[in-house]
A and B are shown apart, each in its own frame.
Chain A
């Protein structure tokens, strides 16, 4: 397919496709509808100031400034050395995309059609890249294309922030391709403001003996929609998705993970955990496909929900399709309110009911957070979850929302590395 034709089709699809046909979306449609970008004002000074605070905040957490900074769908900082930006309107952008060429999903079509930024990450060796994805008053999606060379090891941390602007919309499309014996860990931490909406997709294919691990923490935003499709394609490869949802105040989450065992001796695992309160709702589905010929492969789906109150709602849907007999597969799904007996037990040990609830919910979630390999991210995620559970509204510390020129300095250095100019930057 020619690129121009592809782009046109993507844009038409994004405009014409019904967003979702499922009944579930009747609940969500009032909250959000994908629409054309509302503006292209990445020079919004207010957003830039808040994003600057996020940069400082992340610098403290991660022990250094983010390697890549995205603001309103635009790349404004890049010191990584392994990330380069491709013009979405170029043939190169089209040829680099291996997995998103069909537009069966409206968000994929939307991202393909309207991205201003396509990031390419090519890693060989051992690397960690921290990405700040800051959403403001535009709806411009970003695409991140990862290619892990043979024997490489990449930890890609994506931090979703929004602050200040009303209903921010953040869209990110990740594509991960791993060559043999490589490892990619993608950790996505959603800590947007309560009004924000986020859409994200991950499609990943693991090569021979390689592994892809997704760890996503949903601790912010008003509505978050996530689509994961992970294919254990290479012999002896593995894919894993851990989705951890924390709904505090009427948030809605729509999470779907699709796992595929395509080859022999492959491993696929999806773990979904949700703690919901304050009228939050979550729809979480895992679908595992074990293809014919995927002998001696394993697939597992575990879904768990914990409800703090009657106003919250959860749908957990495990689904498996197995076309090979020589495999091991399991799925389980359960949701319940916090057990009164559990609470009573902890309270008889002098722990207050609020603290007992917190302990139970934290224990429930942190078991899965522990699977994150990156220690900084693991600690940040644990603290974020604790803060949310005790009712703290997530926002940057006051002293981080400074208005100095620090971020501009970062950008300048980044652009010097890239040989870029500051003309169209903040």
Chain B
């Protein structure tokens, strides 16, 4: 599904990713863990074609075809979704209108409004979202938890092939972490989606069952494994990898 080969990425002439390799197949659940500044979010943004990043070497392939140079909306239409760590707030852009525009653009067809609203209602209920949230401007005035839930709601509606979730647990209380994790599990399983969860901590992972764990440090994958690696990181931290 996604293949990243020897990826080198810089921003403002500073190298952030330094030869990163990663392969994610359809339906697989991967976790990317690493200390602050190791390049996790940069990787997510680079995959989605963030204009402020410069890819100096390597390639990113989706279903065997390079996506380098593609505009972000085209990458999204290939089935990639990024849940933002800190989603932007945009005044005046209604959340529901935005959702509908997004779905219509990705699916290239006009939606039946009644069916669309039913889906919004069903998923927002499952996520235990405040009813008033969907009637507001995009992320405007949302609490940290509401923002994260709104992102997962989008993931559910857009139904991507691969969802990259950048710190889906940050800003959430214990109960909300469980709700969000359960919804991510359920949405991904139902649609055989691939998942790449980026996180510092294992809190949310206690409610999820990742198959592959990668540790990133200084812009490259330095360790790979399974659930046992998460337990190891919980005990030992990232120090040994930062020195590597």
Residues of B close to A342: CB separation below 8 A: 88, 90
Q: Which of A339, A347, A355, A364 contacts B76 (CB 8 A)?
A: A347
A-B interface, 10 closest residue pairs, ranked by CB to CB distance from nearest = A363-B92, A350-B106, A347-B72, A349-B102, A363-B93, A350-B76, A350-B105, A367-B92, A347-B73, A345-B88
Q: Decide yes or no whether B41 CB sits under 8 A from chain A.
A: no
Interface size on B, residues (CB 8 A): 32
Q: Are A350 and B88 in touch, CB under 8 angstroms?
A: no
Q: Which of B49, B71, B92, B98 contacts A364 (CB 8 A)?
A: B92
Q: Decide yes or no whether A359 CB sits under 8 A from chain B.
A: yes
Q: Decide yes or no whether A32 CB sits under 8 A from chain B.
A: no
Q: Are B101 and A355 in touch, CB under 8 angstroms?
A: yes
Q: Are B105 and A355 in touch, CB under 8 angstroms?
A: yes
Residues of A close to B72: CB separation below 8 A: 344, 347-348, 353
Please report whether the interface of chain B is mostly helix, strand, loop or mixed according to DSSP: mixed
With A359-B93, A359-B98, A363-B93 known as contacts, the answer to whether A352 contacts B71 (CB < 8 A) is yes
With A340-B51, A342-B88, A344-B51 known as contacts, the answer to whether A351 contacts B93 (CB < 8 A) is no
The segment from B14-22, B30-38, B77-85, B195-203 that touches chain A is: B77-85
Q: Are A341 and B88 in touch, CB under 8 angstroms?
A: yes
Nearest residue in B to A363 (C-beta to C-beta)? B92
Select the residue from B50, B72, B94 with max chain A CB neighbours within 10 A. B72
Select the residue from A344, A348, A366 with max chain B CB neighbours within 10 A. A348
Q: Are A348 and B76 in touch, CB under 8 angstroms?
A: yes
Given contacts A349-B106, A353-B71, 8 further A-B contacts (CB under 8 A): A344-B48, A348-B76, A348-B81, A350-B73, A350-B77, A351-B105, A359-B93, A359-B98
Residues of B close to A351: CB separation below 8 A: 73, 101-102, 105
Q: Decide yes or no whether A362 CB sits under 8 A from chain B.
A: yes
Residues of A close to B71: CB separation below 8 A: 347, 352-353
CB neighbors of A among B27-81 (8 A): 45, 48-52, 71-73, 75-77, 81
Tell me the smallest distance from the CB of B144 to a CB of chain A, in Å: 16
Q: What are 22 residue pairs bridging A and B, where the CB atoms are less than 8 Å apart in the complex?
A: A340-B51, A340-B52, A344-B48, A344-B50, A345-B88, A347-B71, A348-B84, A349-B98, A349-B102, A349-B106, A350-B76, A350-B103, A350-B105, A352-B73, A355-B105, A356-B73, A359-B90, A359-B98, A362-B92, A363-B90, A363-B92, A366-B92
CB neighbors of A among B86-141 (8 A): 87-88, 90-94, 98, 101-103, 105-106, 137-138
Tell me the smallest distance from the CB of B84 to a CB of chain A, in Å: 7
Tell me the smallest distance from the CB of B120 to a CB of chain A, in Å: 14
Residues of A close to B87: CB separation below 8 A: 345
Q: Are B84 and A367 in touch, CB under 8 angstroms?
A: no
Q: Decide yes or no whether B154 CB sits under 8 A from chain A.
A: yes
Tell me the smallest distance from the CB of A350 to a CB of chain B, in Å: 4
Q: Decide yes or no whether A346 CB sits under 8 A from chain B.
A: yes
Interface size on A, residues (CB 8 A): 24
Q: Decide yes or no whether B158 CB sits under 8 A from chain A.
A: yes
Q: Which of B49, B91, B94, B158 contacts A350 (CB 8 A)?
A: B158
A362 to B101, CA, bound (A): 14
Residues of A close to B73: CB separation below 8 A: 347-348, 350-353, 356
**Chain A residues in the interface with B (C-beta under 8 A):** 339-342, 344-353, 355-356, 359-360, 362-367
Q: Are B154 and A360 in touch, CB under 8 angstroms?
A: no
Nearest residue in B to A339 (C-beta to C-beta)? B88
Q: Are A346 and B92 in touch, CB under 8 angstroms?
A: no
Residues of A close to B81: CB separation below 8 A: 348
Q: Are B91 and A367 in touch, CB under 8 angstroms?
A: yes
Q: Which of A345, A355, A363 contacts B84 (CB 8 A)?
A: A345
A340 to B49, CA, bound (A): 12
Residues of B close to A363: CB separation below 8 A: 90-94, 137-138
Tell me the smallest distance from the CB of A153 to a CB of chain B, in Å: 28
Residues of B close to A365: CB separation below 8 A: 92
Q: Which of A340, A346, A353, A367 contacts B98 (CB 8 A)?
A: A346
Q: Are A348 and B82 in touch, CB under 8 angstroms?
A: yes
Residues of A close to B50: CB separation below 8 A: 344
Residues of B close to A347: CB separation below 8 A: 49, 71-73, 76
Residues of B close to A359: CB separation below 8 A: 90, 93, 98, 101
Select the residue from A346, A350, A366 with max chain B CB neighbours within 10 A. A350
Q: Which of B49, B52, B94, B105 contacts A352 (CB 8 A)?
A: B105
Residues of A close to B137: CB separation below 8 A: 363
A362 to B50, CA, bound (A): 23
Residues of A close to B98: CB separation below 8 A: 346, 349, 359
Residues of A close to B52: CB separation below 8 A: 340
Nearest residue in A to B164 (C-beta to C-beta)? A348
Residues of A close to B92: CB separation below 8 A: 362-367
A307 to B145, CA, bound (A): 32
Residues of A close to B76: CB separation below 8 A: 347-350
Tell me the smallest distance from the CB of A123 to a CB of chain B, in Å: 33
Q: Which of A341, A349, A362 contacts B105 (CB 8 A)?
A: A349
A392 to B49, CA, bound (A): 30
Nearest residue in A to B83 (C-beta to C-beta)? A348
Residues of B close to A345: CB separation below 8 A: 84, 87-88, 90
Residues of B close to A355: CB separation below 8 A: 101, 105
A4 to B153, CA, bound (A): 72
Nearest residue in A to B92 (C-beta to C-beta)? A363
Nearest residue in A to B50 (C-beta to C-beta)? A344
A348 to B103, CA, bound (A): 12
A74 to B11, CA, bound (A): 62
A186 to B72, CA, bound (A): 43
Nearest residue in A to B139 (C-beta to C-beta)? A345
A364 to B52, CA, bound (A): 24
Select the residue from B49, B51, B93, B105 with max chain A CB neighbours within 10 A. B93
